[in-house]
Amino acid sequence: MEATLEQAVSILRRNQLKITKQRHALLDYLVTYQDHYVAISAVDEHMRTLFAGMSHNTIYRNIKEFETLGLLEVKSADNQTLVKYQCDFEHQHHHHFVCSNCGRVIELQACPLDAYEAQLPGCTITGHRMEIYGLCDQCTAKGVQAN
Amino acid sequence: MEATLEQAVSILRRNQLKITKQRHALLDYLVTYQDHYVAISAVDEHMRTLFAGMSHNTIYRNIKEFETLGLLEVKSADNQTLVKYQCDFEHQHHHHFVCSNCGRVIELQACPLDAYEAQLPGCTITGHRMEIYGLCDQCTAKGVQAN
DNA sequence: CACTAAATCATAATCATTACTATTTAGTTT
DNA sequence: AAACTAAATAGTAATGATTATGATTTAGTG
Ligand SMILES: [Mn+2]
Ligand SMILES: [Mn+2]
Ligand SMILES: [Zn+2]
Ligand SMILES: [Zn+2]
């Protein structure tokens, strides 16, 4: 199921957040990256050309807000924060393969967590993260070299 | 198997890197964090009190070098780079549980990768990362609240 | 249209990390 | 043991991502 911009807007409404043109433009941009992670700083740069005079603060604050609402997935890499428009607002749990050449994200089914619980007696598990890296089928077919 | 400081020093030698007192002090500090991730910026701050006048550059550059040599594990979180003295220089593959209260790292056996390969036909897998988060047995026993 | 809390702008600050160049030093050679 | 030299470090400043602040604007409401 693809998450749409309209869904996101209605989630803002449901949480009594104002639908500003800045927020709309930001979501509009993020929705084009449904299947890629983008650096917030790149989003920032883009928005500020597209939307003259938009404040850093506005972009960063809203992205944080969107994360809280579950509209975005966030991760940290290489001293940057990367975001990706959430695949599915119903929070269906899954993992990702990320192409290190084109950045494409492929969703993976199943979760390895169960297999590890027995190794952590007495511990409280609150979360986990698993990601696989490599070259997607298209990039592999093109003969791109893995770094 | 615990990795020792002497092993690290001999790996520097083997790679024709000079054993400076700065490098030795740095390794000496990192080895005390065998089972925790530490922010490089925190290592930097500590080394500069302990070793008056040590340059940022020296710390960051050497940590990068140590990573290349396989002496350190590195990850990115919260706009910082975290490092951990490698558990085992023979690169025995495994995953981690990280306590979000005390930071303790517990090693996990087995790897979930195989189960996913069938879902990525035509792709080239070059790496993966899996981590489980929560409270370790000691912190759970103390009644620490999970955030 | 007026109201007001929420959101944005504009600017500057902060923090981690990197760049640069003169100086020092570990390890080697004479 | 002194000389040599490539490698490493110090000291300083720059960069880049992100956050803070306080004045101004605006979305949504009645
Ligand atoms: Mn997904
Ligand atoms: Mn380990
Ligand atoms: Zn690709
Ligand atoms: Zn713990």
> Could you identify the residue whose CA is nearest to the C1' atom of nucleotide D12?
B55
Residue B114 in this model has a pLDDT that exceeds 70: yes
Residue, of B2 and B97, whose pLDDT is higher: B97
d(CA B107, CA B35): 9
**Per-residue confidence band for B115, with pLDDT thresholds at 50, 70 and 90:** confident
Structure confidence at residue A89 (pLDDT): 75
The pLDDT tens digits for A99-119 are 877 777 888 888 888 888 888
Percent of chain B with pLDDT over 70: 96
CB A19 within 8 A of CB A9: yes
Chain-centroid distance, C-alpha B88: 11
Interface contact flag, A122 B137, Cβ < 8 Å: yes
Which chain A residues touch B if contact means CB-CB below 8 Å? Answer: 76-81, 95, 97, 99-100, 106, 108-110, 112-113, 115-116, 119-137, 139-141, 146-147
Interface contact flag, A122 B140, Cβ < 8 Å: yes
Q: Is nucleic acid strand C under 7 Å from B93's C-beta?
A: no
**Per-residue confidence band for B95, with pLDDT thresholds at 50, 70 and 90:** confident
CATH of domain A5-92: 1.10.10.10
Interface contact flag, B127 A132, Cβ < 8 Å: yes
Ligand nearest to the CA of A99: 3
Structure confidence at residue A58 (pLDDT): 98
Residue, of B19 and B100, whose pLDDT is higher: B19
Number of Cβ atoms within 10 Å of the Cβ of A83: 23
- Closest by Cβ to B122, choosing from A113, A116, A137: A137
Report the 3 state secondary structure along A58-109: HHHHHHHHHHHCCCEEEEEECCEEEEEECCCCCCCCCEEEEECCCCEEEEEC
Closest by CA to B124, choosing from A145, A144, A140, A132, is A140
Place of tokens 């350190």: B72
Mean pLDDT lowest for which of A56-60, A127-131, B16-20, B101-105? B101-105
Q: CA–CA distance from B75 to each of A67, A123, A141, B25, B50 (Å)? A: 21, 23, 30, 22, 25
Regions of chain A where pLDDT drops below 70: 1-2, 91, 147
d(CA A66, CA B13): 50
Interface contact flag, B128 A125, Cβ < 8 Å: no
Structure confidence at residue A47 (pLDDT): 97
For residue A36, give the 3-state DSSP assignment.
strand
d(CA B111, CA B45): 35
Place of tokens 């490089």: B40
- Closest by Cβ to B134, choosing from A123, A133, A146: A123
**Per-residue confidence band for B91, with pLDDT thresholds at 50, 70 and 90:** low
Structure confidence at residue A3 (pLDDT): 73
d(CA B79, CA A39): 12
- Order across the sheet with A38-39: list the strands: A38-39, A80-85, A72-77
Q: What is the mean pLDDT of chain B?
A: 89
Structure confidence at residue A100 (pLDDT): 73
**Per-residue confidence band for B28, with pLDDT thresholds at 50, 70 and 90:** very high
Residue B1 in this model has a pLDDT that exceeds 70: no
Strands A72-77 and A38-39: unpaired
Structure confidence at residue A91 (pLDDT): 66
Q: Which of residues 38-67 of B touch strand C (CB under 7 A)?
A: 39-41, 44, 55-57, 60, 64
Average pLDDT on B53-65 reads: 97
Which chain B residues touch A if contact means CB-CB below 8 Å? Answer: 76-81, 95, 97, 99-100, 106, 108-110, 112-113, 115-116, 119-137, 139-141, 146-147
Q: What is the mean pLDDT of chain A?
A: 89
Q: Is nucleic acid strand D under 7 Å from B13's C-beta?
A: no
N residues, chain A: 147
d(CA B5, CA B10): 9
d(CA A66, CA B115): 32
Structure confidence at residue B7 (pLDDT): 93
Structure confidence at residue A147 (pLDDT): 65
Interface contact flag, B120 A106, Cβ < 8 Å: yes
Structure confidence at residue B5 (pLDDT): 92
Residue, of A21 and B118, whose pLDDT is higher: A21
Number of Cβ atoms within 10 Å of the Cβ of A78: 8
- Chain A: nearest CA to B120, how far in angstroms? 8
